Amino acid sequence: MSNEPITLTAGDAEATVLPGNGGRIGGLRVGGTELLRQGERYGCFPMVPWCGRMREGRFRDGAVVHRMPLNSPPHAIHGTARDAAWRTARVKADEAVLTYDLTDPWPYPGRVTQVIALTEDALTLTMSVETYESSFPAQLGWHPWFNRTLDGADVALSFDPAWQEERGADHLPTGNRTDPKPGPWDDCFGMPDGVDVTLTWPERLELKVTSREQWVVVYDEQDAAVCVEPQTGPPDGLNTLPRLVTPLEPLEATTTWRWTRL
């Protein structure tokens, strides 16, 4: 199938899926109000086969050190799939299935599948990485850019993490955990019972971002948007907390955004 834009609908909710632009969600409208920052690099993109910054673009697999392009010097950031065209495998009125085959510069063969499912009050994203050949370390997650303001109302963030990853001057975790600190943030937090973050636009909308995963990066240093990024490990996690994808065990994660009008 082609990689043309896809529109999903459920009730008065509408999502635009852009397979040709990194498999991202280009827009999410509820009652005609756009929740995601618009623009070619925004919306919500999948982070795979790693999330956030990878120190100096290097990761180790056993005795072998691999180097990724430094797309955020001096680091590599957010994986390779957001810069690629995905294939549309299946589409229904309220669901789309996309696939992406890992290729150069990633050194291992594998396939990523993303399922985007819309209901009247929620968007659920599920992603998996599988291989039929070599095992390899990987991460996956999502990077949504939620509009800071909806119809004149500024968003408030609410969440209760167990810890915050101490951030070094290079924006990477130092390996130390601290008590959560007040924002603004470009930081990774641990939520052992699963990601649970609430965004509230007073008198407009409440949106809960949840996931079974234990890691979330929160970025709110921009005037236009805030980011709440569930992921399967911390930044630089291929080096510090690798998850292995094997022919018998794919890596899979899910996040749901559920909204309520206020």
CATH class of 6-261: mainly beta
Count of CB atoms situated within 10 Å of the CB of 170: 13
CB neighbours (10 Å) of residue 91?
Answer: 17
Q: pLDDT for 199-218, tens place per residue?
A: 999 999 999 999 999 999 99
Instruction: State residue 216's pLDDT score.
Output: 98
DSSP 154-173: EPEEE---SEEEEE-TTSSE
- Residue 239 per-residue DSSP state: H
- Three-state secondary-structure class, residue 96: strand
Which residue ranges of the chain lie beneath pLDDT 50?
none
Q: What is the predicted pLDDT for the residue at 126? A: 98
Contact present, 142 and 42 (Cβ < 8 Å): no
- Beta-bridged to residue 64, according to DSSP, are 61
Distance between CA atoms of residues 33 and 27, nearest Å: 10
Rounded to whole angstroms, the Cα distance separating 182 from 91 reads: 42
DSSP secondary structure, 34-83, as one string: E-B--STT-SEEEEBS--SEEGGGEEEETTEEEE---SBTTBEESBSGGG
Question: CA 28, CA 17: separation in Å to the nearest integer?
Answer: 9
- DSSP state for residue 86 in the 8-state scheme: P
Nearest Cα residue to 51 out of 68, 37, 66, 38 = 68
Query: Which pLDDT belongs to residue 3?
Result: 78
Q: H-helix or E-strand containing 238?
A: helix 237-240
Looking at residue 14, what is its pLDDT?
98
Interatomic CA distance for residues 200 and 25, integer angstroms:
21
Give Cα 87 distance to the centre of its chain.
19
Contact 238, 138 (CB under 8 A): yes
Q: Could you tell me the residue ranges of all domains in the chain?
A: 6-261
Cα separation values, 18 from 29, 37, 98, Å: 15, 14, 10
